[in-house]
Amino acid sequence: MLDMKFLRSNPDVVKENIRKKFQDHKLPLVDEVIELDQQYRNAKVRGDELRAQRKSKSKQIGGLMGKGDKEGAEALKAEVNAMGEELAALEASEDELQKKIRQIMLVIPNIIDESVPIGKDDSENVEIERFGEPVVPDFEVPYHVDIMEKLKGIDLDAARKTSGNGFYYLCGDIARLHSSILSYARDFMIGRGFTYYVPPFMIRSEVVTGVMSFDEMENMMYKIEGEDLYLIGTSEHSMIGKFIDTILPEENLPQTLTSYSPCFRKEVGAHGIEERGVYRIHQFEKQEMIVVCKPEESMKWFDVLWNNTVDFFRTLDIPVRTLECCSGDLADLKVKSLDVEAWSPRQQKYFEVGSCSNLGDAQARRLGIRVKNAEGAKYFAHTLNNTVVAPPRMLIAFLENNLNEDGSIRIPEALRPYMGGMEKIEVK
């Protein structure tokens, strides 16, 4: 959410940013919110005037009564009562105007960083760098579900009976592999100085609207019927929500956190849900990283975060590349975003396995997350998040890149301690 003072002083900058994001239908909102803001400030000025006049006249009433001027006192009382009625109407108007202003400000997109490439959608994202050599083996790489089924590691048919499409049972060595990757990711991030958390898996609506846009909320979140609670789509939601309405001492920054959670997503949209596959699903588990920092340090932390994911995947012998998200592919709260994509030998292309985002002060402004410096001045923090790893989607890349010709799966050295020393998963 933008600062109203900034929008009021820079309407053309805000409109140009909307055009860069190809959201021209939001352009009228800028003028509309400026007009509402003017009405709100006029009402506030008038309200302050009335309060001062009412206080003054109330004092005069006592003086007139002391002099025996009852008629004059009653006349002033009538004026004070009329002021009270006008003031009550103004206060109601102020509340209503504030609500309207906030509703509009929540849908006006954040100002993107000047380094973000301009483009309409994800087809115009820009490749930045590749890490590791993509390899296509001289044998056929089966579909990932076929690999898992051959290893007796997945049961989609039973999951469809219990829960429908978009769910799965993992079992045996594949289930162990799934858990081992998450345990390794936890320790990997702890080793990089991040504090480990297991957060709440449900959050209230005020946190939901604080961490994401309305479009994201509608397409992602499951609401708990009869409760002001939503299942989280990522642990970033509850981890950023942890700081709601707090003032952090500047010396306590940065906050560098890594969190595990199950994630639940409706996955509404054109992609749909595969009957056979674990790429786009309703339920998965994820290790996340979150940073709360000073504004001048957020771009430095942005680079640290995505490099962590690249390094993690390379320790598992998975080639990856980084992709700069263009303006039209950025969610409204984001200042800058970069996807990490893993190599698929079967498809002979890269696919997304993580997303690193700098949200500037947008989430902090919505949630009231402020920092107090040594001089006592307060300002809004910057927040960032990035995926460490999100199996079972990541399992697709892992299985394809570590597949042997006989159908067995090689276990990279970094993961072997979490697999009981196992060097490969054998075909059953």
Residue 352 bears catalytic tag: yes
C-alpha distance from residue 380 to each of 137, 337, 398 (Å):
51, 20, 40
* Catalytic residue, candidates 344, 346, 393, 400: 393
CA 94 to chain centre: 30
C-alpha distance from residue 377 to each of 248, 374, 381 (Å):
12, 8, 13
* Catalytic residue, candidates 236, 355, 365, 400: 355
CA 32 to chain centre: 27
Beta strands 349-358 and 283-293, pairing class: unpaired
Residue 102 bears catalytic tag: no
Distance CA 231, CA 262 (A): 9
Residue 400 in tokens: 């394809």
* Catalytic residue, candidates 86, 267, 297, 352: 352
Residue 32 in tokens: 């509309």
201 CB contacts (<8 Å, ≥6 apart)? 231, 232, 238, 261, 262
* Catalytic residue, candidates 8, 102, 130, 280: 280
* Catalytic residue, candidates 54, 265, 365, 366: 265
Residue 280 bears catalytic tag: yes
Active site residues: 265, 280, 352, 355, 393
